[in-house]
Amino acid sequence: MLSVIRTSWPLLLGMLLLMLGNGLQGSLLGVRGSSLGFTAIEMSVVMSAYFAGFLIASRVTPNMIRRVGHVRVFAALGSLVSAALLLFPTFQDPIAWSLGRVVIGFCFCGVYVTAESWLNNSATNETRGQALSAYMIVQMLGIIIAQGLLVVPDPTGYLLFVIPSVLVSVAFAPILLSISPTPAFESTKRMTLLELYHVSPLGCVGMFLMGSVFAAQFGMAAVYATEAGLSLAQIPLFTAIFYIGAMLFQYPVGWLSDRFDRRILIALSALIAGLASVLGMVFGDSYVTLLVAAFLIGGLSNPLYSLLIAYTNDFLQHEDMAAASAGLLFVNGVGAITGPLIIGYAMQVMGPPGYFVLLAFMLLTLTAYAVYRMTQRRAPSSEDTIAYQSMMPTASPVTVEIASEWAIETAEAEADSQAEEDIKPGSHAA
């Protein structure tokens, strides 16, 4: 890990600053929109727009990079993000904010694609897994630290929009001054959604539901906190605790994932997170209870993203994993777009508890479906499972493909090692 940090620290530092800016703008809009009188449905459209832009960019950005190169795309999208952040306090209208969020979602996805390409290029086969882990930790730390910036005094109503713009602008300096040339993008073989569903029904359904759950955390947590009457001092910890839980639970969930039937782990994680949502719904008047609920929801739902990808890969040939991962990412993106819209409607009808009602519904639905799938298919043997690799639900297609490459390389290395053991003199095979 130290060698990865030593060789990739400019990129990791730049991504930390980018996530500070991204994490702050999402929560800030949630708080500011409610104070401006935007309804829960209007705010849900604003928050959903980010994921629409993100999904579009996941398809468009690779072609942009092929045409004009990594550096130009990276710089252009970064400039657009900084400009869009400064326009939010100027045009205080839900439609204008929604358009701005589409732009920001598009640009951040493009920035992630470019930065993650450089990360992959700088990693070796031996350090790729460590590089992905360092990248995920930096992403989560950026979002967590960003929530603390919400308490910065903002008497003019403009300062908190300037801060993420400056952070994003500064983030490009260490990256652009230290990058090395990257190989050209290669097209990934496509897999239709129907083919992907036949490979892993649980993977498809689970990724759609987890897209909704993550979008509820990343986009609507601050909206809920404001609607529920939390103070400006309480909102940052509530929004941050989702990601603190996610960071702390990634390793134990990954460790268990490589040792047990992954469907059992998916069902149990979703069940506990679903029950935590019920806890938040029933006892939402207690701030401590809200923190406990958010910690468990974030801690157990976020690792499900990586877990569902690993489970789907268990049923695939190595050459099909990248195509399947791209399909799962698309399904997750569709869920992320619809999640805030549904939750916004629920909050409009039921009030703030509607936030946890929909989280509970989606998580317990995943629990039930995972249990059902256990009756339809036998679990793959431990020899056929692919290694778990932690990823954030904000991952671009590049990170997902890097993780697939790492899983393939790990599986092939283990197979070669086992083959060498089998042919040694005195071995069982001999």
CATH number at residue 160: 1.20.1250.20
Direct distance between the N- and C-terminal alpha carbons of the chain, in angstroms, rounded to an integer: 38
In a domain, 70, yes or no: yes
119 found inside a domain: yes
Question: Model confidence over 165-196: pLDDT tens digits?
Answer: 898 888 888 877 766 655 555 555 667 888 88
In a domain? residue 127: yes
**How buried is residue 226: exposed, middle or buried, by Cβ count under 10 Å (0-12/13-18/19+)?**
buried
The average pLDDT across 131-157 equals 80
The number of folded domains in the chain is 1
- Are 146 and 21 within 8 A, CB to CB? yes
Q: Is the pLDDT of residue 415 over 80?
A: no
CB burial of 278-289 (b: ≥16 within 10 Å; e: otherwise) equals: bbbbeebeeeee
146 has a pLDDT exceeding 80 = yes
pLDDT of amino acid 430: 42
d(CA 316, CA 200): 9
Which stretch of 24-38, 96-110, 321-335 has the lowest confidence by average pLDDT?
321-335
Across 265-292, average pLDDT: 95
Residue 430 lies in a domain: no
pLDDT at site 384 = 60
**202-231 residue pLDDT tens:** 999 999 999 999 989 888 999 999 999 998
Q: DSSP string covering 160-221, please? A: HHHHHHHHHHHHHHHHHTT----PPP-PPPP--HHHHHHH-HHHHHHHHHHHHHHHHHHHHH
**pLDDT score recorded for residue 345:** 92
Residue 224: per-residue pLDDT: 93
Flag whether 425 is in a domain: no
Share of the chain above pLDDT 90, in %: 32
| DSSP state letter for 320 | G
Amino acid letter at 291? L
Our measurement of the distance from residue 377's CA atom to the centroid of its chain's CA atoms, rounded to an integer in Å, reads 28
Q: What are the distances in angstroms from CA 13 to CA 139, 343, 376?
A: 10, 34, 46
- Judge whether 81 and 111 are in contact, CB under 8 Å: yes
Question: Nearest to residue 57, comparing CAs of 318, 427, 396?
Answer: 396
pLDDT beyond 90 at 15: no
What gap in Å lies between CA 355 and CA 350, rounded to an integer?
Answer: 9
Quickly list DSSP for 354-414.
HHHHHHHHHHHHHHHHHHHHHTTSPPPPGGGPPPP----TT--HHHHHHHHHHHHHHHHHH
Give me the domain span that covers residue 146: 2-418
> Which band of pLDDT confidence, cut at 50, 70 and 90, is reported for residue 270?
very high
Residue type, 195: E
Helix (H) / strand (E) element for 230: namely none
Predicted pLDDT of residue 90: 87
Q: What is the pLDDT of residues 366-380, one digit of tens each?
A: 999 999 998 888 877
Flag whether pLDDT at 282 surpasses 60: yes
The region, left, alpha or beta by phi > 0 then psi within -120 to 50, assigned to residue 37 is left
Work out the pLDDT band at 31, boundaries 50, 70, 90. confident
In a domain, 424, yes or no: no
Q: Which tokens sit at 25?
A: 């703008």
Shortest CA distance to 49 belongs to which of 33, 36, 70? Answer: 33
Q: What is the pLDDT of residue 383?
A: 60
Asked if the structure places residue 426 within a domain, the reply is no
Q: pTM of the predicted model, to two decimals?
A: 0.84
Question: How far apart are the C-alpha atoms of 240 and 145, rounded to whole Å?
Answer: 8
Residue 197 CB neighbours (<10 A): 15
